[in-house]
Amino acid sequence: MNSTKIIKSLPYKRPFLFVGELTEISEKGVKGKYTYREDEFFYEGHFKNNPITPGVILTETMAQIGVVCLGVFLLEDQISSEEKKPQIALTSNEVDFFLPVLPNEKVTVISEKEYFRFNKLKCKVKMLNANDELVCRGTISGMIIAK
């Protein structure tokens, strides 16, 4: 399954799709990028006259690229038909934040699969900015099934 098909299979759309491109994907993990556009819906109120990407959006971006895209790739055989779509329930724990992400910044998410069994996918994820500095990292897991 190629990256375009994976992104089209995601259960998200703008303004809540935070996957711009997938640059690497295998059974071991995924690497992808997203640029937070200046006109994203959350910048208007976070923070007044000093927009910063909310931590929950950074976490969601890591989850979408690092867990959901990988889950879609791993379930390719089960969701290859148009009527079967991935169903996802995500959890995160121990997400640490180190640097802010500003409007128009491009980030890279790198995910390494810890395990995928009984439809539960657990990954170590990290986000880097354009200078390859660590923005945030953590562990995100979720139940991913084809329905």
Could you list the active site residues?
Answer: 46
Query: How far, in Å, CA of 115 to CA of 23, rounded?
Result: 21
Neighbours of 27 (CB within 10 A): 9
Give CA angle at 43 (17, 103), nearest 5°: 80
CB 83 within 8 A of CB 95: no
CB 25 within 8 A of CB 66: no
Query: How far, in Å, CA of 114 to CA of 76, rounded?
Result: 19
